[in-house]
A = this chain, B = another copy of it.
Amino acid sequence: MATNLLEDYPWVQTPLIVGAPMRLISLASLAVEISKAGGLGFLASAEDQRNLQAHLEEALKLLQGTSLSTANNTLPIGIGFLNWGADLSIALPLIQRYRPAAIWLFGPRTVEDLTQWTRKAREATGRATKVWVQIGSVVEALKVCKACEPDVLVVQGADAGGHGLAQSASIVPGVPEVDDALSAARNEGSLAAVPLIIAAGGIADGRGVAAAMALGAQGAVLGTRYLAAEEAVIAKGYRQEVIRVSDGGQTTLRTSLYDRLRGTTSWPPQYNARGILNMSYWDGVGGMAFEENERLYREAMNAGDDGWGPEGRMTTYVGANVGLVTKVQSAKEITEEVRQQAKDVIRRLYA
């Protein structure tokens, strides 16, 4: 299992720290720095893959002269796709040409969409590019694994920031139950192979990473923590909120309101997103007409960094773990610090 990942990604160190592909935020520099620090960075493709080739070219340039050796001659970063908006005919030539270490599929309209992407991507690179699929429930895990046999299943829990299933458990029950269900399916013969499981949602430091491993995951995804990375492409006002806000169980919520205010209405209906409760939210629950709320949101967009903050209206997607993110650091520092802390936690537990 861990062996398998290390064979595919010979530069990674354990425990494996993965940088979430955050739309418009996780671009070449963040992804490359995470991989250079012994993790696996993902470059987020926008839903329509605009500029994806330019970002891949930038990643190539940033990787020049580094010592990241890759098995199968792949690019030592992954690409995340939002399947509901992604166009395979645009993605495929880029996958074939740049040979990312992984593609991470999420948010398809149908499971058949995943099957097609998986098959085509595997053909395009002779299976050098590994297929990761993100799910949020046990039923979804079984359906996806039977349909397309991904190499890696990302099990996302309810604490996750940004988009995910509107209803889900955290990784505490989620990872073990998915693990058990996949093993049972394989033993019954209804599943040919069990993918690696990587946990996502609520993990911000080495304690979370060690917990994810205890639950049965072979690695952990960090999203919110990397919002505070120097390399994240993020507005100053947004990042200040990531640092300022604590007690995410109280100060963030899963809702579809922010998507609606932003005019992002194409997500399949089972998804919504976790963000910081702001004036848009409070006015919404207070009964303000949507049109007025939308007008005020557009005004806030023109306020620059002042559009964020306690009195702000700008959407601030973060996980329920936002309170664990307290300073801006380089992606290298974050990755190395989290990995070392996870090792220390495991050593302390054993002692």
For A202, give its contact among B165, B170, B181, B213 (CB under 8 Å): B170
For A180, give its contact among B157, B214, B250, B324 (CB under 8 Å): B324
Give bound CA distance, A196 to B208, whole Å: 19
Contact with B along A153-189 (1 / 0, CB 8 A): 0000111000001011111111111001100000000
For A173, give its contact among B173, B175, B321, B350 (CB under 8 Å): B321
Q: Given A249-B137, A249-B165, is A173 in contact with B349 using a C-beta cutoff of 8 Å?
A: no
Q: How many of chain A's residues touch chain B, expressed as a range?
A: 35 or more
Give bound CA distance, A214 to B206, whole Å: 9
Whether A170 contacts B138 by the Cβ 8 Å rule is: no
For A172, give its contact among B172, B180, B213, B253 (CB under 8 Å): B172
Residue in A137, A139, A176 whose Cβ sees the most chain B Cβ within 10 Å? A176
Residue in A249, A250, A253 whose Cβ sees the most chain B Cβ within 10 Å? A249
With a cutoff of 8 Å between Cβ atoms, the chain B residues found around residue A174 in the complex are 249, 320
Q: Give, as a whole number of angstroms, the nearest-CB distance from A202 to chain B.
A: 4
- Whether a CB of chain B sits under 8 angstroms from the CB of A229 is no
Whether B249 contacts A168 by the Cβ 8 Å rule is: yes
Whether B136 contacts A249 by the Cβ 8 Å rule is: yes
Whether A250 contacts B167 by the Cβ 8 Å rule is: yes
Whether B323 contacts A177 by the Cβ 8 Å rule is: yes
Whether A214 contacts B210 by the Cβ 8 Å rule is: yes
- Whether a CB of chain B sits under 8 angstroms from the CB of A152 is no
Given A136-B249, A177-B248, 9 other A-B residues pairs in contact with their CB atoms under 8 A = A138-B250, A157-B170, A167-B253, A169-B249, A170-B170, A172-B203, A174-B320, A176-B208, A207-B216
Jot down 8 A-B pairs with beta carbons below 8 A, ordered by A. Answer: A138-B249, A159-B169, A159-B173, A167-B249, A168-B249, A176-B208, A213-B214, A214-B349
